[in-house]
Structure 1
Amino acid sequence: METTVGLRERKKAATRQAVHEAALRLVVEHGLDHVTVESIADAANISRRTFSNYFAGKEDAVLYGEEQRFRTLVRKVRAQPPALRAWQALRGATEELYREMGEPEREWAQRTRLARQHPSLLARQLANHAALERDLSEALSERESGVPPPVMAAAFLVGLRLAAHLWSDEQESRTLIDVMNETLDHVARPFT
């Protein structure tokens, strides 16, 4: 069955992305506490009401890109060859995701730093990570691992978060994928 995205859906996706980019830019420039939903809506050339159709708050708008990557990661884990053990499926899906999206831009490092500075962003990010952990655990439940899927999903995500923090703190002297692979190699020892 062929699925095509219609004009309306493409316009919605473009608006959502524009709001996300405006939110991120304003928060990086002015700090989360000095940015309002109204200022984000103005910067994205939409109304406050339209903003509310896309995001529950400014934190959601800032973290939208990360949420999209999380959804893609879960889909890619599910699409890995069935013969792969759970940890191999996680690593394969992650490498595939980063090959497709390329090396993250400064925006990603800025968001990582922002999340560590603002409690409301950190809280929203932790909620997103908890949802990702549940979804990954479910995606791993059909795979052989010898380790309960929730434990493996949690350990994997700790490795990803640590890699992101290390990469961000290094001021991007190495690529994220290099830092991630090194970190996940250490985390993987009990699972492989």
Structure 2
Amino acid sequence: MAADDLGLRERKKQATRLALSAATIQLSVERGWSNVSVEDIAAAADVSVRTFRNYFANKGEAVAFRQLERMRQIGEELRARPVEEPLWTAIPAAVRERFPLGHDLSAHGGHSSGQRERQWVEGVRRMLAEPAVQAAILEVNTRAQRELAAAIAERTGTDAERDLYPKLVAAAVGTATAVAIEHSQAADPPLPLLPLLTEALDQLAAGLPEPSPRRKS
């Protein structure tokens, strides 16, 4: 098989994974986790149930794939940044490229504001609280951090396997992103994600300085 054909085949597989992950999230948030079957997801993605099983063992894996793919894309964005750019300038820029409008798992077509937005966010919260989803995300986070650590190692001239630095930075960036998403969704009403991501990464870059005490009202 020619290299171009192999590349096209892999791109098609990736597109199928993304479509199945998006359909799983969309249906689970709208209908409730227990009210969505693999058959429903396959139909929404216009593939067979067998195709779903070829890519994911269960619905939790399909949801968690979104996190893995995003971290992989952040790594690719980091590799594409100018080599002379400082690491802690490049990392926030790469993350923002994957959250261009502040979108995350709560990103959804057609829901813009008001009551429908609130219902969507509540649905996301319930989905992420499912034990199957939490277990899958925990498992995939290790792979996601390895993906990002490899890109950081390339940029810093370190070894992603032997050196602590790329692993530590990847873990910190992954945690900062997760905390910003959780903080955004926990607020009532939900807070815009992009400013929170920027703040979280800026604080990391500054070494997490101790904040000034809040004044009691």
TM-score range, shorter chain: 0.7 to 0.9
Change in CA separation of 1:11 and 1:92 when aligned onto 2, cut-off 3 Å:
closer
Which structure has greater helix proportion? 1
Unaligned ranges ≥5, structure 2: 109-120, 159-163, 210-217
RMSD: 3.3
Write the mapping of 1:1-192 to structure 2, written as runs, cut at 5 A.
15-99=16-100, 102-104=101-103, 106-107=106-107, 113-114=125-126, 116-144=128-156, 148-171=165-188, 173-190=190-207
Contact 2:29/2:124, CA 8 A, preserved across alignment? no
Contact 2:30/2:123, CA 8 A, preserved across alignment? no
TM-score (structure 1 length as normaliser)? 0.77
Higher relative contact order (CA 8 A, sep 6+): 2
Change in CA separation of 1:94 and 1:111 when aligned onto 2, cut-off 3 Å:
farther
Unaligned ranges ≥5, structure 1: none
* Cα distance in 2 between the residues matched to 1:184 and 1:12: 32
TM-score (structure 2 length as normaliser)? 0.69
1:11 Cα offset (Å): 6.3
* Cα distance in 2 between the residues matched to 1:16 and 1:136: 20
Q: Which amino acid aligns with 1:27?
A: S
Contact 1:86/1:145, CA 8 A, preserved across alignment? no
Higher alpha-carbon Rg: 2
